[in-house]
Amino acid sequence: MEKLIITAALSGGEFVSKMATDYVPCTADEIVDEVVKCREAGASIVHLHAKDPEMGLPASDPNPVLKEYVERIKESEASDIIVNITTGGGRFAENEVIEEWMKERTTFGQEMDSLNMGSVNLWATPKGMEGIEKEFVFSNSLGTIERWAGYMYDNGVKPELEVYDTGQIQTALVFVKEGKLKEPLHFQLVMFGGNSCMTPDPETMLYCVRRIPDKYTWSVCAPGRFEMEMGTLAVIMGGHVRVGMEDNIYLEHGVLAKSNSELVAKIARISKELGREIATPDEAREILSIKKK
């Protein structure tokens, strides 16, 4: 079995801020420090959202924050880590404006971007949206997916295919046939449950993995206590794992994680106990067919 790739999702977007935990990194200094700690704990990929430095709420677009994160990470002790930037946050604008943001967002020197493979209803209710959440749609049309994948490929960025529901796997496979996505694919199974995402349970994961051809790689992210449960199952099944405060702020029941690196170290320890080694960033590049920038 190939070595385990651990992604550290440091801070998330709308759902994680200082209102949820004082330990979420918000400033550029805190982000870079967390990346270094996560690299030391075993992460080979770091997934980034732009954060307001005061409270950790989503930074407004357009912003210089993500570019600064990438530049400073490349100058840090974790300079070899694979940087993965979200294309999911900062969507509250006109479509034409968002399109320009996304073109720019693929040019910061990162090696991966998230690419959401379909539209979903709101899967949880962030503070401030109570009462209107049933009217909100996280929109990712087929045309948008195709264009944004093109921006990524134009800049040498590998898409990480975010799958919120099982049919989105089929969307990706069709896009390969049409030449819109390049092999080999890397899927992220987003098992957030709630009102519209896949349920975080073994049956759902097994179904998804059976739908993904063996020549492709896959990872899983899940909320709260399901993070380690689904992560452990992915370790056993040959997949990869995302952990971090974007998905889960607790190290164990009732105990807040003081750093993302504690969550990385926990899944790394579980994997090693199960006899599966942890991939370095360069080993992860080889597994994912990423050419180092």
**Domain for residue 56, yes or no?**
yes
d(CA 136, CA 114): 21
Total residues found in the chain within this entry? 293
- pLDDT for residue 162: 97
Examine residue 53 and state whether it is found in any structural domain, yes or no: yes
Q: Is residue 1 one of the residues assigned to a domain?
A: no
- The pLDDT of residue 253 is 93
pLDDT in tens, the chain (293 residues): 899 999 999 998 777 899 999 999 999 999 999 999 999 999 999 999 999 999 888 887 767 899 999 999 999 999 999 999 999 865 656 677 888 888 999 999 999 999 999 998 866 665 555 665 667 788 899 999 999 999 999 999 999 999 999 999 999 999 999 999 999 999 999 998 876 789 999 999 999 999 999 999 999 999 999 999 999 999 999 999 999 999 999 999 999 999 999 999 999 999 999 999 999 999 999 999 998 87
Domain membership flag for residue 109: yes
**Residue 293 domain-assigned?**
no
Pair of tokens at residue 194: 């709630």
Closest CA to 230 of 219, 245, 214: 219
| Angle subtended by helix axes 226-237 and 260-273, to nearest 10 | 40
Under DSSP, the state recorded for 123 is S
Coil vs helix vs strand at 83? strand
SS (H, E, C) 96-122: HHHHHHHHHHCCCCCCEEEEECCCEEC
Domain count, the chain: 1
SS (H, E, C) 27-54: CHHHHHHHHHHHHHHCCCEEEECCECCC
Cβ–Cβ < 8 Å for 58, 49: yes
Question: For residue 34, is it within any domain?
Answer: yes
Dist CA 51 CA 58 (whole Å): 5
Which H or E element spans position 204?
helix 202-211
Backbone angles phi, psi at 258, to 5 degrees: -85, -10
For residue 238, give its domain range.
6-288
In a domain, 210, yes or no: yes
The DSSP letter of residue 90 is -
State the pLDDT at residue 131: 65
Burial of 16: CB neighbours in 10 Å, binned 0-12, 13-18, 19+: buried
User: Of 9, 6, 1, whose CA–CA distance to 249 is shortest?
Assistant: 9
Residue 163 lies in a domain: yes
Cα(225)–Cα(121) distance, integer angstroms: 23
SS3 for 228? helix
Contact between 245 and 16 (Cβ < 8 Å):
yes
Pairing between β-strand 6-9 and β-strand 186-190 as defined by DSSP bridges:
unpaired
- Domain of 104: which CATH number? 3.20.20.70
- What is the C-alpha separation between 226 and 123, in angstroms, rounded? 15
Rounded Cα distance, 22 and 70, in Å: 23
Rounded to an integer, what distance in angstroms lies between the CA atom of residue 13 and that of residue 26?
11
pLDDT at 139: 86
Q: Which one-letter amino acid corresponds to residue 201? A: D
Q: Is 206 helix (H, G, I), strand (E, B) or coil?
A: helix
CB distance 116 to 88 below 8 Å: yes
Predicted confidence (pLDDT) per residue in 48-57, tens digit:
999 999 988 8
